Structure 1
Amino acid sequence: MTTTITGARVFDGERLTEHTAVRLDGGRVEAVGDDTLLRPGDEHVDARGGTLLPGLIDAHVHLLPGALRQALAFGVTTVLDMFSKPDTVRDALVQGARPDAADVRSSSVGATAPGGHPSMMYAPFPYVTGPADAERFVADRVAEGAAHLKVLYDDGTGGPLPMPSLDVPTIAALTAAAHRAGLLVAAHVSTARGAVDLLSTGVDVLAHVPFDAMTGRQAEAVARAGVAVVTTLSIADGFPRDGAMPLLTSALAPRLGPAWRAVLERQGRRWLPPRLPDFAVARDNARLLREAGVPLLAGTDAPNPGTVHGASLHRELEHLVAAGLPPAEALAAATARPAAVFGLADRGRLHPGLRADVVLVDGHPDRDIARTQHLTAVWKEGVRADLDAYVGSADERDGLTALRAQTEKVIAAVRELLPTFGAGE
């Protein structure tokens, strides 16, 4: 079926263009131009002044069963998984090949030290004990279908529960092995010092804007190294604001469905430390990195508390604009820019010959970023998605069951370390 969308504003992944129509055929964008693209026999969609965007890309998720269907329902046509177990990845690769689910690229299991993050949630899985393990670890991930490598580093100052960490020489060895295998390397860091520590190793991407204050000199060092940063500012949505979880007060809330709304409501009532993180610092760091010329990529870290696959990417765009990015640049951080950094040359832009991953929204998100939340239609490889099919499905139930199991595993591990954790709550 050939689909022609007319009467649109067209954002091509980098800028708003003069075009008003896009023609989709054979899973590709056949043409971009004006309303004369419409041919007899085409399926015609009148955009009525809405805005067409490339399919959105979430550059940092962790998979749940069915998460790819949930992501597509919110206009996210590609997700980049940054740590999942091999069986979950195997199932996701099968589901992601279907027209009713987002495409996926995964790291499979990330490289971390014995007992290191995220052991609480995912153990058992293979660990890395030193540089000598690098070649075999990377080869095993490639065999599991990994498209990039995730490494985890903690400089010892990033949280209340210090955990074992890989050292810099080990990450350098892993990075070299990954590059020889043709894989990009994304490194988990949480502090400014940790980010700078890893610049000499050759990692390609830092996963997370640091949560402690960066200096301008540190931001410039990241820029000189040519490293991109996945922002994950949506982590802030894990904490109630004015008594409610942020996603529940957004325009997306009705489309989450009752089961996920209930999850978010429960998460808003969970035990929280008396002093919450200062997420203004992370926003300031994003601003500093942007001013230094560092490519910022939109990523959510879903399904962390307060985040939902697909939906939270729209909140991430709002966070980026709050950090100082113009709306059009925030849109690029979720389309053309992650596609370029991760070597996805067939997507991220609305250009002839590229994948027909397309999102239609009501309004002008290049002016008001919140308009991305007003989804009208989504196409993956030219096939129009049913935006209501996930809610109430077996995939939703399986995802919620897996999330509950992960949460209970983490709580049990924390209570073992801190017997008084959550006492009285």
Structure 2
Amino acid sequence: MTRNFSRRSMMVAGAATGLAGAAAALTRPVVAVAQRGGGTAFTHVTVIDPASGRVLPDVTVLVLGDTIADVGRHVRLDGATEVDLRGRFVIPGLADMHTHALAEGIDTGLYIANGVTTVREMAGSPLARDWRTRIEAGTLLGPRYTVGSRMIDGAPSIWDPKWLDVVQVDDPASARAAVREEIARGADFIKVYSRVPKDAYRALAAEAHRHDVPFVGHCPDVVSLEEVADLGQASVEHLFWTPFETSTKEAWIRAEIQRIRLGLGDYAGWFAALHPLEWTAAHTYSPVKARHLHSKLARRRVRQVPTLAMHRGLDFARTVDTNHPRDKYLPASALASQELAKQEFYLKNRKPSDDARWAAMFDHRLRTVHRLHEAGVPLMTGTDTGTLAVWPGFSVHDELELFVAAGIPPMAALHAATAEPAAFLGTRTGRIAPNHAADLVILDADPLHDIRNTQKLSGVVVRGRHIDAEERTRLLADVEHTAATTPEETVATGCPCHTG
């Protein structure tokens, strides 16, 4: 049985993963012999493989070590431990492609408990680097981490260096030097922020290419998305600037952006200056300009990470639930940091009478994501952990729900959380197929029927290790206990909001 994404999204999936051979491998009668014996066989399960768009009922997934050995209806177990998953569904491990480390004993456990087995850290956190080292050594249970550079912003940065370890550049020479320094520090990619000048951005792009290191992040205020695509930025985060080039008033908006003057640490000023321009762009939308821009983004395969969960928290900041049951998994100091950001950044100077306009802006963001998908622009799930009403692990499921609310079919939404991140990172994750990483999520209900069923987890497999329902419950209980007893000084310093 095949569940179609849409014509365009299937074309994108095929380009990213080479579907013809993979689909054949999944559907042929397979006789697999566990050469070394042992392993785990997950039997009588329905496999949902978003990379191919295939749904395979009543099959066995054979795992040897940290790898999927085979998938099919005729798999010889030969000493494997059998786990009967009759009536259940398996999808690949999920990815959060926009995260910020919060606290020891919190993030890693919540990711695994929620089936998030791949994480991209967007703020160069030493904490995330330490977790990755311990995870790779087998001394900490956690997801696969990719860790970027510190944030590279213009000078002055709109972030106060007391809050965040930010690198400030103001010309091509300082931008090139920043790239070299971050690579020397071990960054997997370079992260760009909002206020980088155009000439510095071009130099940063050239230097990153010279060292064959990807650069990702914000679209700098003074740079167009078209130029970002032409210069090879690998992914663009958030939806703040996406409407500008689809507006009939783009020239006026660009002129207004050039007039913005901000001091060091004036994030609230940046936020206040940008929103009226977003509003203008949303209400002067041009389908012709949108088709031109989206076509280029699709051709260049510039991944878009909309972070809709984050935008929902910001756009509904006054009414966001500040007493959510998930809050028990976060330390009090992390929740206090979110509340501070809410008051000092998002609601500062925002009148209650403006709330309807903010809500309407979120509707425009949903429409934008749908248009990007329809144009074949590759999307990836990311949440921006640390912002309002965003929780490690849990909010990937929120993001999937918002993708579907935007009009994206469930299979395509799952593709954005599995196969697309794997193609972007160049890893063996994101597929349920032989010779791929044994990162799986076991579900009690069909997510293609209702995407909210991704939240009905009965187990997780990470690097071949099966976390069953009982162990998952204990894992969540351990995180809750850690959150309740974590001293304030052990929480990662600084608000990570929009730092990637």
Decide whether the 8 Å contact of 1:79 with 1:103 is kept in 2. yes
Residue 204 (structure 2) aligns with: 174
Task: State how far apart, in whole Å, the 1-side matches of 2:80 and 2:121 are.
Answer: 36
Matched, 1:7 2:44: yes
Decide whether the 8 Å contact of 1:16 with 1:366 is kept in 2. no
TM-score by length of 1: 0.81
Decide whether the 8 Å contact of 2:164 with 2:494 is kept in 1. no
1:308–1:401 Cα change, 3 Å: farther
Query: Which of 145, 152, 159 is equivalent to 1:111?
Result: 152
Structure 2 SS opposite 1:11: strand
Structure 2 SS opposite 1:21: strand
Decide whether the 8 Å contact of 2:328 with 2:484 is kept in 1. no
Superposition pairs for residues 140-155 of structure 1, below 5 Å?
A: 140-153=181-194
Decide whether the 8 Å contact of 1:68 with 1:95 is kept in 2. no
Letter in 2 for 1:2: G
Matched, 1:279 2:362: yes
TM-score by length of 2: 0.70
Decide whether the 8 Å contact of 2:192 with 2:220 is kept in 1. no
Letter in 1 for 2:494: Q
Task: State how far apart, in whole Å, the 1-side matches of 2:461 and 2:222 are.
Answer: 39
Residue 245 (structure 1) aligns with: 321
1:138–1:395 Cα change, 3 Å: farther
**Offset of 1:174 from its aligned partner?**
1.3
Query: Which of 115, 123, 128 is equivalent to 1:83?
Result: 123
Question: Which structure shows the higher helix fraction?
Answer: 2
Task: State how far apart, in whole Å, the 1-side matches of 2:381 and 2:462 are.
Answer: 20
Decide whether the 8 Å contact of 1:247 with 1:306 is kept in 2. no
Structure 2 SS opposite 1:101: coil
1:193–1:327 Cα change, 3 Å: farther
Structure 1: gaps spanning 5 or more residues? 154-164, 411-425
Residue 208 (structure 1) aligns with: 238
Count, aligned residues: 389
Letter in 2 for 1:185: F
Task: State how far apart, in whole Å, the 2-side matches of 1:71 and 1:54 are.
Answer: 14
% identical equivalent positions:
28
Query: Which of 36, 43, 63 is equivalent to 2:81?
Result: 43
Task: State how far apart, in whole Å, the 2-side matches of 1:246 and 1:340 are.
Answer: 36
Superposition pairs for residues 21-420 of structure 1, below 5 Å?
A: 21-34=60-73, 36-37=74-75, 39=77, 41-66=79-104, 67-85=107-125, 87-97=126-136, 98=138, 100-119=141-160, 122-153=163-194, 165-189=195-219, 194-210=224-240, 212=278, 213=282, 215=286, 216=290, 217-238=292-313, 245=321, 248=324, 253=325, 256=326, 258-260=328-330, 271=343, 272=347, 273-274=350-351, 275-276=354-355, 277=358, 278-344=361-427, 346-385=428-467, 386-387=471-472, 388-389=474-475, 390-394=478-482, 398=486, 405-407=493-495
For residues 260-303 of structure 1, the C-alpha deviation after alignment (integer angstroms, 9 at most, x for no partner) is 39776996896433334321121111112112211011111112
User: 131-140 vs 282-291, which deviates more?
Assistant: 131-140
Residue 34 (structure 2) aligns with: none
Structure 1 SS opposite 2:134: helix
**Offset of 1:58 from its aligned partner?**
0.8
Decide whether the 8 Å contact of 1:4 with 1:23 is kept in 2. yes
**Offset of 1:242 from its aligned partner?**
11
Decide whether the 8 Å contact of 1:2 with 1:43 is kept in 2. yes
Residue 417 (structure 1) aligns with: none
Aligned-residue CA RMSD in angstroms? 3.1
Decide whether the 8 Å contact of 2:103 with 2:492 is kept in 1. no
Task: State how far apart, in whole Å, the 2-side matches of 1:91 and 1:320 are.
Answer: 32
1:128–1:229 Cα change, 3 Å: same
Decide whether the 8 Å contact of 1:26 with 1:382 is kept in 2. yes
Task: State how far apart, in whole Å, the 2-side matches of 1:173 and 1:203 are.
Answer: 13
1:242–1:301 Cα change, 3 Å: closer
1:401–1:73 Cα change, 3 Å: farther
For residues 170-214 of structure 1, the C-alpha deviation after alignment (integer angstroms, 9 at most, x for no partner) is 222212222222222213138898434523322121111346336
